[in-house]
Structure 1
Amino acid sequence: MDTNKFLLVFKNSVLNKLIFNQVTSISSIAGQKHYKWKQLEDYPHILASHNYFEHLKLCLASTKNRKDECKQLTIQMAIRFGDLEMLIYLLDRFKVDLHTIIIPRENVTSDKSPVIFHESCSYLNSILCFALQHRRVDIIKYLTNRFKKYKWNYRNALILAPLSGSLEILMYFVENFPKDNRHVKFENGGIKITVFDSAAYMGRLDMIEYLLEKRLAKVFRYTEVLDLPSSKIFEFAIRGGHLHLVEYLLNNHKSLAFKNEYRVLDSASEFNRFDIVKLLFNHGIKNYSMEFLDYAVKNGNLELLKWSRANTNARLSNNVLSIAALNGDLECLKWLNQNGAEGYSTIPMDNAAKNGHLECFKYLHFNRTEGCSQNAILFALENGHLDVLKWIYDNRTERCSEAVLKDIRISRIDVLEWVLENQPKVFSTKDLEFAVQKGYLDIVQLLCQKKMVECRYEVMNLAATYQHFHIVKWLFESGVISNFQESTVNVATSYGNYEMVQYIMQNSSGIPLSYPVIFCVVHGCLDILKYLTPMITRDTLSHRNHFDLAVDHQNFDILQWLYENLPDCGLITITSFNQAVRNGNLPLAKWIYENINEKKIESIKKYNVFDRDDFVEPLFKQNQYEMIEYLLEILNEIPKSDLEDYKKLLELKYQNSVESLSVINKAILKSSK
């Protein structure tokens, strides 16, 4: 980059403003989210995803409390886009669990793929599996070398290794797989596939041949690790859409296709691979289930349907008309009707109405005798298909009673207006609550202005809960609800909605602020707390120790601000210090210790937390070595025998907390002098 040109452009205020204004437009066009720089403190995962390591460290150096979901997402972004150094930093900064082996049922497949697995990245085995799925050889080698005493789940790692698309990673886990059975006895954690399945899904013939070579060489003592016969290798090759691999398997491992012949052909139809269907038939794989043609209809594959009619004895199930109608596939619907499809129910027409496929609905009306049920009206109402509703009322006799309609919620104003003119319906508060939850202001206005429902105050709180400020304003400004209550301020505060809190307070008087202040402290809403402070009275702060409350929720910035600006709102207690230690929040623990009175400091030293197992074990498990080192500095001298007991505990239960062990060893050495 030519730095001089860059500076020349960005020092021009007109060009600078124009460029940055366009960033927003470009992001919107691309369907991407954009952030202001000052917002990124709240989104460390965004910094990690752009490999802004130094900025990430500055962001995480703040006292802001981070939720587990934020920490896990940041680690995932660091694995996908960051350097190894960034991940090493995050493992220590977030005190990732170094000892948990597996969380049962954590591994679940994604909605889009049967072999791509979600990982929480909250413990080492999960981080390893996430790293290998994203081809991070450097991270894999670092983890397995750094934590040699950890019980790595090599079985799951090996199964998932092909998903990386890297033969090197697969070979790494094969070569490093334990030769004994210690590491194989894991609950599967939701992983129900084999390594051959995942290799087939990726279409990697080289991986399969490599695995077969290792299987023949009996690399593993326990052959279930490379159990080809129990795999579904044909199905997964088809799922991945790999024609070349299916051809290879038919030529070399055809017997595996006959193990579950129905699923093999069904899979080819399910994943819309007509070419693979014909290939399988040519190799004598000809058995299928009733779902075979259902899948073809679902995919709208008329070519496969016609071919099956000419070349197989496959029968159309009773579901095919319903499937085609639901999809709005008129051509397929016509072909099915002309070729003997049977329905025996009103479901096809009801399905067409459900998804607003009027042409399919009309075709079934004129060419079938089953008709529709009142569900067609209900579906059209719920999903906002006004054209279908009008056509039913003009051309058919089905109608709905008020009793049936009472549970139907309408989401479009034009449909609601049509109902008022054409269909008796008793509206209830549930209709209003539904519209408020969804943010449908036009429907809220119609229901309230025509007084079709009673608008109780709970509706205001509901609008605040779902963050629909425009509805909150309309309810108040229209006079539907004339006064705000404390409960709405509580809700707005708990969601950190500064604009809503400000609006309510500007249009109210006499609202008690005890609970809004508590919600500010609990949820870390410093901006709202600052806004409310001029309105706070002594009575407001008399109910709770707000300092303890801020510590309980690790809102350090709130605690500091309260201490400096509202010193009468609480006391700094030993309980707060202990809570900060238990949470592993070293900056908070240090601040409390420095600001607590001398008498309480003496109590902390005398009754040190190291005498309590409920403190010591979490510190060791989370490898809170900085906290341990700090406590050893400020507490009364701990007997050498106790330190040696801690060392034994670390060596026995928390072997991966090597930094904590090092701190204890130094303390033992110091006590020996």
Structure 2
Amino acid sequence: MNQEQHRQHSDSVATATAINIMDILKNIVLRTRIFKELELLPKKEYSEEFTYRPLVYYKGKELIEAASKGSYVMVWDCALPWDFIKHYLPPTRVSNCLIEKMLSGYSSHYNATLDTLSSLTDRLLNTSRRETPLEPLRLNIEDAVRHNHLDIVQYIHTRIPGSFKMVQIVCYYASKNGNLAMLQWIKLNTALEFYRDCVRTAAMHGHLDVVKWLFNELDRVKGKEDNWNTMDWAAKGGSVAVMEWLQSTRSEECATTFAMDWAAMNGHVNALQWLQTNTTAGCTRAMDLASREGHLQVCQWLQTNKSQDQHICTKAAMDWASMRGHLHILEWLHKNRSEGVSSSSKTKVNKKGSSMAYKE
């Protein structure tokens, strides 16, 4: 199948899928059943760094009814597009409290867009009882950085000069996300400083371009890698490409025992293999940590390749495996290691409530 035939086939499949979905939604019986099933889904909470927001489901008519009563969940909970929400915003002057809640809720939402935010801001300012109630935008600029909304960050910075004062954490968020464009913009437009956690989190998440930029472009970073253990953090995330680059730029050892220990803890066999071949750092608590997290393949690799390292495994391995309910780890440790289990952990009850007994 040539390229043109492949494209036509893909288009026909997509069209057929779209038609089938539309047919289902047009069927009132099926549509009703689908939405009833959705209502039964658990509304679990999800984490956004240090905050938790509930997963909430709304029907269109519920959003419209709420707006008629002055509750604009379509703005602050759902972050719906401007073409929808503009029809339900209050036509007359509204309280500053409501304006601030709308701007705060929308600008901090991960689905926010610049088009809707700017239109919403202009509309609300026209109904405001004071000139510029834009403080919520400044307060939520770190959320915009965390969600990779560079255009919104630029908009807030333009509307409220000095928005980046006292929000050093944005450098960390941009580094963690691997958003090089955001970092470059922050450097050019603010006085914020980059610190070691920026390099560490970029390395751990495998953002090689960001790691290179932090090392090559910022004088405050150059020559200070010894104090930051960047190799260890790259190993923690299994970021072999970052580890290779760090190794190529240094003439001396730049990994410590934390590198293997953390790689083992997070189940990164590929990182362990690379460290074994390219460094002499060794490890200390690697098997204990791998057992705690249930990584059997890591335990097996360590047994084959690093069993000579002192303290690679202690009684903590079985203790932690028992507390976490990792029966497969316990069975493997019992057959392949001699450390045993501490007397206080002969019988542990895991989180599910089932008791496990061990033999010496």
TM-score range, shorter chain: 0.5 to 0.7
**Contact kept? 1:325, 1:333, Cα under 8 Å:** yes
Aligned amino acid, residue 268 of structure 2: H
1:296 is aligned to: 202
**Contact kept? 2:202, 2:208, Cα under 8 Å:** yes
Q: 1:348 is matched with which residue: 243, 259, 265?
A: 259
**Contact kept? 1:265, 1:288, Cα under 8 Å:** yes
**Contact kept? 1:162, 1:198, Cα under 8 Å:** no
2:181 is aligned to: 275
1:398 is aligned to: 311
Asked whether 1:372 is paired with 2:283, we answer yes
Q: CA RMSD in A?
A: 4.9
1:126 is aligned to: none
1:318 is aligned to: 228
TM-score, normalization: structure 1?
0.39
Asked whether 1:74 is paired with 2:55, we answer no
1:309 is aligned to: 215
Deviations 1:332-359 (A, max 9, x none): 1233345469978632221122233344
Q: 1:169 is matched with which residue: 85, 88, 91?
A: 85
Three-state SS of the structure 2 residue aligned to 1:409 is helix
TM-score, normalization: structure 2?
0.66
CA distance in 1, matches of 2:253, 2:132: 46
Three-state SS of the structure 1 residue aligned to 2:267 is coil
Asked whether 1:240 is paired with 2:240, we answer no
Deviations 1:111-168 (A, max 9, x none): 2689994267xxxxxxxxx53xx6x2x32343465xx6xxx5x4x7486066122444
Aligned amino acid, residue 234 of structure 2: A
Quickly say closer, same or farther: Cα 1:175–1:76, change in 2 above 3 A. farther
Shift of 1:173: 3.9
Shift of 1:175: 3.6
1:212 is aligned to: 122
CA distance in 2, matches of 1:329, 1:391: 23
Deviations 1:51-106 (A, max 9, x none): 149x97xxxxxxxxxxxxx9xx73889xxxxxxxxxxxxxxxxxxxxxxxxxxxxx
Three-state SS of the structure 1 residue aligned to 2:263 is helix
Q: How does 1:424-463 map to 2 (within 5 A)?
A: 424-426=339-341, 437=352, 452=359
Asked whether 1:51 is paired with 2:32, we answer yes
Shift of 1:302: 0.9
1:423 is aligned to: 338
Q: 2:135 is matched with which residue: 227, 233, 243?
A: 227
CA distance in 2, matches of 1:281, 1:228: 23
Q: How does 1:617-628 map to 2 (within 5 A)?
A: none
Q: Percent identity of the aligned residues?
A: 16
Quickly say closer, same or farther: Cα 1:391–1:158, change in 2 above 3 A. same
Three-state SS of the structure 2 residue aligned to 1:304 is helix
**Contact kept? 1:205, 1:245, Cα under 8 Å:** no
Aligned amino acid, residue 351 of structure 1: W
Q: How does 1:30-41 map to 2 (within 5 A)?
A: none
CA distance in 1, matches of 2:51, 2:287: 40
CA distance in 1, matches of 2:248, 2:129: 59
Shift of 1:406: 5.5
**Contact kept? 1:48, 1:74, Cα under 8 Å:** no
Three-state SS of the structure 1 residue aligned to 2:206 is coil
Quickly say closer, same or farther: Cα 1:334–1:392, change in 2 above 3 A. same
Aligned amino acid, residue 39 of structure 2: T
CA distance in 2, matches of 1:111, 1:421: 38
Quickly say closer, same or farther: Cα 1:293–1:345, change in 2 above 3 A. same
Structure 2 gap segments, 5+ residues each:
1-27
**Contact kept? 1:324, 1:332, Cα under 8 Å:** yes
**Contact kept? 1:196, 1:226, Cα under 8 Å:** no
CA distance in 2, matches of 1:109, 1:223: 37
Aligned amino acid, residue 356 of structure 1: G
Aligned length: 322
Aligned amino acid, residue 337 of structure 2: N
Shift of 1:211: 1.0
CA distance in 2, matches of 1:114, 1:437: 27
Q: Look at both structures and tell me which one has the larger radius of gyration over its CA atoms.
A: 1
1:139 is aligned to: 62
Quickly say closer, same or farther: Cα 1:207–1:414, change in 2 above 3 A. closer
**Contact kept? 1:300, 1:329, Cα under 8 Å:** yes
CA distance in 2, matches of 1:161, 1:170: 16
**Contact kept? 1:199, 1:207, Cα under 8 Å:** no
CA distance in 2, matches of 1:117, 1:436: 25
Shift of 1:392: 5.1
Three-state SS of the structure 2 residue aligned to 1:111 is strand
Quickly say closer, same or farther: Cα 1:178–1:48, change in 2 above 3 A. farther
Asked whether 1:110 is paired with 2:46, we answer yes
Shift of 1:388: 2.9
Q: How does 1:2-13 map to 2 (within 5 A)?
A: none
Three-state SS of the structure 2 residue aligned to 1:255 is coil
Deviations 1:426-466 (A, max 9, x none): 487966665895989xxx7xx7xxx838xxxxxxxxxxxxx
Three-state SS of the structure 2 residue aligned to 1:325 is helix
**Contact kept? 1:261, 1:285, Cα under 8 Å:** no
2:271 is aligned to: 360
1:409 is aligned to: 321
Aligned amino acid, residue 319 of structure 2: D
Quickly say closer, same or farther: Cα 1:354–1:436, change in 2 above 3 A. closer
CA distance in 2, matches of 1:401, 1:378: 7
